[in-house]
Amino acid sequence: MRVLELWRYPVKSLQGERLAEADVGVLGLAGDRRWALFDRDTGMGLTARRVPELLFGSARVRPDGGVEVVLPDGTVTTDADALSDWLGRRVELRAAPDDGAAPPTYETAVDEDAPDPAEWRQWEGASGPFHDSPRIRVSLVSTGTLGAWDRRRFRANVVLDGEGEDRLQGREAVLGGVRLRFGVPIPRCVMTTRPQPGGIGRDTSVLKTIHRERGGLLAVRGAVVEPGTVRVGDVLGPTAD
């Protein structure tokens, strides 16, 4: 399998950036999930599991290493008031801590399609960059697995041309200058059904099919054993002796 696309998502649950190459450290792609939006009243992080409007904004890393958010109307901002006006609640953009602080909590719902805020509950993410997993920081999916589904529904860092990533569980492999150790496949949630820009409509059959045919799992996650650089066109191959 060969790298067809590389993606990073600077702000959790917003649209991301397609890259030609990426530096990958032990915490994942540089700049990936490095920021998130938090509710200023509850202190909890927001994701498109509970706030699907997030998927209609996008984020990009500035040349100076900072971030900027592009709102659906084209406004470029990091201003808390502008972000709050967009989402209709008091929010602010926060960078992931570098000091090993406690993992953040996020709001979701007992029934993730239920609109009643009283049904909110909390789940805990990873410390450091705002990934869901505390150990596995790079996600990969192949065109063979995706079939006709739009790859943007699954927000993988690496889209591979070919098929066979399911067989990587428990193994190590080299991708460009990076060595990865692969864990369990990724459990999928209601985010895969959400509408997104570019004509991606709400489609509950996506998640139903994943549960029926794949046990609720799709794509794989890799822990970074040796950091390095990955480029479009790099081949996923066995580790060197």
- According to the model, what pLDDT value does residue 116 have? 44
- Assigned token pair, 113: 């399609």
**Taking 90 as the threshold, does the pLDDT of residue 113 lie above it?**
no
- pLDDT tens for 12-52 read 999 999 999 999 999 899 999 999 999 999 888 899 988 99
- pLDDT tens for 53-62 read 999 999 999 9
Kindly report the average pLDDT of the chain as a whole number.
89
Going from the C-alpha of 57 to that of each of 17, 54, 77, 196, 218, the distances in angstroms are 12, 6, 11, 9, 25
Q: What predicted TM-score, i.e. pTM, was given to this entire model?
A: 0.89
pLDDT bin (cut points 50, 70, 90) of residue 129 is confident
**Taking 90 as the threshold, does the pLDDT of residue 4 lie above it?**
yes
- ∠ CA 44-132-35, nearest 5°, is 60
- ∠ CA 131-133-179, nearest 5°, is 90
- ∠ CA 240-18-66, nearest 5°, is 100
The full set of domains in the chain, from first to last, is: 2-238 (2.40.33.20)
Whole-angstrom Cα distance, residue 132 to residue 71? 24
Contact 96, 36 (CB under 8 A): yes
- According to the model, what pLDDT value does residue 133 have? 72
- According to the model, what pLDDT value does residue 111 have? 52
pLDDT bin (cut points 50, 70, 90) of residue 130 is confident
Q: Please give the order of strands across the beta sheet that includes 76-77.
A: 58-61, 67-70, 76-77
Whole-angstrom Cα distance, residue 134 to residue 118? 28
**Taking 60 as the threshold, does the pLDDT of residue 120 lie above it?**
no
- According to the model, what pLDDT value does residue 137 have? 85
- pLDDT tens for 53-99 read 999 999 999 999 999 999 999 999 999 999 999 999 999 999 988 76
User: 186 or 98: which carries more pLDDT confidence?
Assistant: 186
- Assigned token pair, 156: 């993988």
What value does the mean pLDDT take over residues 220-239?
93
Contact 139, 157 (CB under 8 A): yes
Whole-angstrom Cα distance, residue 61 to residue 33? 11
Whole-angstrom Cα distance, residue 213 to residue 121? 28
**Taking 70 as the threshold, does the pLDDT of residue 173 lie above it?**
yes
